[in-house]
Amino acid sequence: MSERMDRGFDVVGKSERKVDGLGLVTGRPRFVDDIRLPETLSVKILGSPHAHARIVSIDVSEAESLPGVVCVLTHENTPPTRHTTAGQGYPEPSPYDARMFDSKVRFVGDRVAAVAAEAERVATEALKRIRVEYEELPAVLSIDEARREGAPIVHDEADATGIYDSARNIVADVDIDVGDVARGFEESDVVVETTCETQYAQHTPIEPHVVLSYLDPDDRIVLRTSTQVPFHVRRIVAYTLGIPMHRIRVIKPRIGGGFGTKQEVLLEDIAALVTLRTRRPALLRLTRAEEFIAARTRHPMRVRVKLGARKDGHLHAIEMEALSNTGAYGAHGLTVLANTGSKTLPLYNKAPNAHFFGQAVYTNLPVPGAYRGYGATQGYFPLETAMDELAERLSIDPIELRARNHIRAGETSPVFEKLGEGREGVSQTVKSCELARCIEVGADRIGWSQKRGLRPKDGPWVRGVGMSVMMQGSGIPEIDMAAATIKMNEDGSFNLLIGATDLGTGSDTILAQIAAEVLGVPLGNVIVTSSDTDVTPFDVGAYASSTTYVSGTAVVRAAEKVRDQIFDVAAPLLESPVEALSLSGGAVIAGNGRRVGLDRVCQRAMYESDQFQIAATASFVPSESPPPFLANFAEVAVDTGTGQVKVLHYVAVADCGVAIHPKLAEGQLEGSIVNGIGYALTEEMLLSSRGRVRNPSFFDYKIPGALDLPELEVVLVDSYEPTGPMGAKSIGEIGINGPIPTIANAIHDAVGVRMRQTPFTSERILAAIEGR
């Protein structure tokens, strides 16, 4: 539900049917492996059984001779180019520490070999016939082990680059400060400190990673792939295989979710190479078990927050120290670490002293990558817990404490400039912030003042309420670039070509809405083609909550250019100066009352006089990243006999600027919050003492289902971001950061225990209640 002003938009702000919805509800062949090509080979990957080992020898002769096996790849016959799998802008701020196939394996499930065969069962059988001799090496299986003096070195190869200190397993080291926190704490009246740990958790998109590669009639490689980053895929595959980029075309059709795990070049290099060598289409898809073991995960972190405050509740010093486990490869290691601080500390911008520092370290464990929230999720847990503890110490209502400290419109934070995506950030002033309103609405809906501190009992169940606030960003300033091309058709419709990547988020729809709004046509008159590197202009892809803000602005600019061309054609027809023209209802309207339909305008331009194609391309690089804001409130019930916690009611109130499509924006919040609840309560990848994933299935990795839903209310408050397209900011990630600290704070209200390790399983809660 939303409380929004009517801003006079015709298309924007309305919840129309998604442009791709019809095909999705009728099961049309829209996903990667919904199309069948003759002669397609099935590709399977052999994963390492060891957490850390050298491959002493690898004999594929028996596998190769199995009837139906067409191609076997190992480190002995593939390019040795070190690269990063992270789908980030070039030059990627992640180490180049991965080879297609290496002579060393670094986690259980790491690539050893790949087989392409006529049928999947033949490929699977062939994997068993690959004879590998391993020299097992001692493994590091935790952050602490990795940092120990003399720890085994995960990346000892000579040709890796971009690692901060490989001899000590340190991928990244970040340290920024503002003022002097040591003195700040001394000057504070109250100091609280908390350390929280977050677990290995996974995105579990319902569609696992999958790619289909094939040669087009001109012998170019086409990668039809489930990705969030088609342009980065093209570049990185070209680099890895040593082939010219223009010989590769990447197409993203509909994909079944990503949440960050598909911001990665996970499979495309293998499929492409199989196709290059065999000239046949190759289908490579992960099973659900492989998805758990060898895709990407959340970065498990240990984060310490120390807050110093004056008696009146004003924060005077904030320190955050983050230790991040970046697994066997460093993709996203630096940037997730940096985001842990850059998306959290500016929220409490008025503390004159702040210090963020931390390291991301290698371990011989499954590989974390990008995951919705991207470090902020891990940072808000201790930050909002510490704020709750501070409120208690100061005897100030937690809401009041936030109100006294959070950033407001017109303000800035020195952290914006000091900390960005791994390097320095970009200074900015917040121009829209409705967090105060968010807090007000949320507190009212949860019944905060009626419920806080009461601890009502019902048999073994005790209730409590908790809250938290947060911000995120909208794109990566000065780094992200998006472009859009719009061309006009002679029936007054338009083709919108965008690199932007719809992973189910509905970006095709909202970007079409933006174009339709500027061009004065109904949504159905904008035909979207997206995410095809041959056809659509560049876009970094779907991450960093960038699509609405960055891609949306590119669309506005392209549409404005097209509008101007339309006006140039229409002006003489309407005998009107261009300045007196406007677009509405599929027509050009003049100040003198005359109008001409867009179809007529385009026909004139296409066929009649001074013919030209009405079309334009525009790009946008943002100079700031206006944060969305979120206030979360939860009521929980804790069973003091079993430790079970039920989230009864969850209220999330967001300022996302103008919601281009309110139901899709609400859907982003609802989905990310439910994901966050799973992350808070039940989701955990469990690892054996040898680094193997013990629960690689939904049977024992428990994500929320329909029965686990609390009463969930999401509200979008009225807000307008002046730098955003139509006033929009973003909403894609922020929701997932809410549940952990909110539920932790609610549990404390109910039973007086502080949960500092996720997930808050019933076993852990019972132990906390009993002081164990």
Positions 669 through 688 that interact with other proteins (CB under 8 A): 670-675, 678, 682, 686
Largest CA distance in the chain: 84
Residue with the two structure tokens 């909208």: 474
Among 70, 171, 237, 255, binds other proteins (CB under 8 A): 255
Among 24, 37, 56, 454, binds other proteins (CB under 8 A): 24
With beta carbons less than 8 A apart as the criterion, state whether 383 and 320 touch.
yes
Question: Nearer Cβ to other proteins, position 580 or 709?
Answer: 709
- Give the DSSP H/E element, type plus range, for residue 751: helix 739-751
Residue 457 contacts other proteins per CB under 8 A: no
Min dist. Cβ of residue 461 to other proteins (A): 12
Counted residue by residue, the chain has a size of 772
Q: At what angle do helices 435-446 and 398-405 cross, to 10 degrees?
A: 170
Among 22, 454, 578, 580, binds other proteins (CB under 8 A): 22
Min dist. Cβ of residue 665 to other proteins (A): 9
Residue 709 contacts other proteins per CB under 8 A: yes
Residue 128 contacts other proteins per CB under 8 A: no
Question: Nearer Cβ to other proteins, position 517 or 670?
Answer: 670
Q: What one-character-per-residue DSSP string does 182-213 give?
A: HHHHHH-SEEEEEEEE--------SS--EEEE
* Per-residue mark of binding to other proteins, 493-512 (x: CB under 8 A): ----------xxxx------
Of residues 723-762, those binding other proteins (CB under 8 A)? 761-762
Copy the structure tokens of residue 7: 């801003």
Question: Nearer Cβ to other proteins, position 569 or 630?
Answer: 630
Residue 205 contacts other proteins per CB under 8 A: yes
Min dist. Cβ of residue 312 to other proteins (A): 39
Nearest CA among 244, 179, 246, 248 for reference residue 214: 248
Question: Nearer Cβ to other proteins, position 24 or 245?
Answer: 24
Helices (H), 395-520: 398-405, 414-418, 435-446, 448-451, 507-519
The CA distance from 230 to 531, in Å, is: 6
Residue 572 contacts other proteins per CB under 8 A: no
The CA distance from 407 to 466, in Å, is: 21
Among 4, 10, 31, 145, binds other proteins (CB under 8 A): 31
Of residues 609-668, those binding other proteins (CB under 8 A)? 641-642, 644, 661, 663-664, 666-667
Dihedral sign, CA of 512, 517, 521, 522?
Answer: positive
Among 2, 15, 489, 495, binds other proteins (CB under 8 A): 15
* Per-residue mark of binding to other proteins, 304-343 (x: CB under 8 A): ----------------------------------------
Min dist. Cβ of residue 530 to other proteins (A): 14
Among 203, 332, 463, 561, binds other proteins (CB under 8 A): 203
Of residues 103-122, those binding other proteins (CB under 8 A)? 121
Residue 199 contacts other proteins per CB under 8 A: no
Question: Nearer Cβ to other proteins, position 346 or 739?
Answer: 739
Among 3, 5, 28, 400, binds other proteins (CB under 8 A): 28
Residue 230 contacts other proteins per CB under 8 A: no
The CA distance from 514 to 497, in Å, is: 13
Question: Nearer Cβ to other proteins, position 256 or 597?
Answer: 256
Strand boundaries in 606-669, DSSP class E:
615-620, 629-639, 645-655
Contacts of 497 (CB under 8 A, 6+ apart): 484, 485, 486, 487, 529, 530, 535, 536, 537
Among 220, 288, 455, 594, binds other proteins (CB under 8 A): 288
Min dist. Cβ of residue 216 to other proteins (A): 22
Of the candidate spans 330-338, 414-422, 623-631, 701-709, the one that interacts with other proteins by CB under 8 A turns out to be: 701-709
Q: Decide: helix, strand or coil at residue 120.
A: helix
Min dist. Cβ of residue 766 to other proteins (A): 6
Question: Nearer Cβ to other proteins, position 158 or 707?
Answer: 707
With beta carbons less than 8 A apart as the criterion, state whether 252 and 225 touch.
yes
Residue 37 contacts other proteins per CB under 8 A: no
Dihedral sign, CA of 71, 74, 80, 84?
Answer: positive
Of residues 348-407, those binding other proteins (CB under 8 A)? none
Within 10 angstroms of residue 467's Cβ, the number of other Cβ atoms is 28
Total of chain residues touching other proteins, rule CB under 8 A = 73
Residue 207 contacts other proteins per CB under 8 A: yes
Residue 280 contacts other proteins per CB under 8 A: no
Min dist. Cβ of residue 344 to other proteins (A): 24
Copy the structure tokens of residue 378: 């891990």
Among 43, 703, 716, 747, binds other proteins (CB under 8 A): 703
Nearest CA among 258, 292, 296, 272 for reference residue 224: 272
CA angle 191, 192, 193 (to 5 degrees): 125
What are the C-alpha distances in Å from 536 to residues 35, 531, 548?
Answer: 22, 6, 17
What are the C-alpha distances in Å from 495 to residues 312, 515, 535, 766?
Answer: 57, 10, 12, 58
